């Protein structure tokens, strides 16, 4: 069974601060995919990033970066220099190989104050 845990319920920061969102996952598969999605107040889930279990290289994409560590089953996500438009609920999700079922964490509400 696959499980995703986002321990942080809410995070509030002032604009330009960095925000790091924690995600811990459980799976018995050796091949799996990890995702981060953003859900603004409009309700639509917006795809942000995907990581494959066989590639632990951490990357930066614009103001987004992620830290994937298989040893601790963690997939943390950082927004650098946060902006008010980053205010949303952020979901971490896991999909096992050849399986289109996404298991989501409970989500972390990020509020960026001007």
Cα atoms in the 13 Å half-sphere on the side-chain side of 105: 30
Q: Which of 63, 73, 102, 111: binder of another protein (CB under 8 A)?
A: 102
Q: How far apart are CA 4 and CA 85, in angstroms?
A: 26
R_g over Cα of the chain: 14
The minimum distance between CB 40 and another protein, in angstroms, equals 11
Answer for which of 16, 26, 54, 113 binds another protein (CB under 8 A) is: 54
Instruction: Decide if residue 106 touches another protein (CB under 8 A).
Output: yes
Residue with smaller CB distance to another protein, 84 or 106: 106
- Give the 3-state secondary structure of residue 31: coil
Question: Least Å distance between CB 26 and another protein?
Answer: 16
Would you count residue 24 as binding another protein (CB under 8 A)?
A: no
Cβ-Cβ contacts under 8 Å for 16 (sequence gap 6 or more): 81, 82, 83
CB 90 within 8 A of CB 110: yes
Positions that interact with another protein (CB under 8 A): 33, 35, 37, 42-47, 50, 52, 54-55, 91, 95, 97-107
């Amino acid at each position: 069974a696959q499980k995703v845990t986002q321990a942080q319920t809410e995070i509030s920061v002032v604009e330009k601060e960095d925000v790091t969102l924690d995600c811990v996952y459980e799976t018995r598969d050796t091949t799996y995919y990890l995702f981060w999605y953003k859900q603004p107040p409009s309700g639509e889930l917006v795809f942000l990033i995907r990581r494959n279990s066989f590639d632990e290289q951490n990357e930066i994409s614009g103001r987004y970066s992620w830290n994937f560590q298989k040893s601790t089953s963690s997939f943390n996500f950082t927004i650098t220099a946060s902006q008010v438009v980053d205010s949303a609920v952020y979901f971490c999700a896991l999909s096992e190989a050849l399986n289109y079922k996404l298991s989501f964490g409970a989500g972390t509400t990020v509020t960026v104050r001007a």
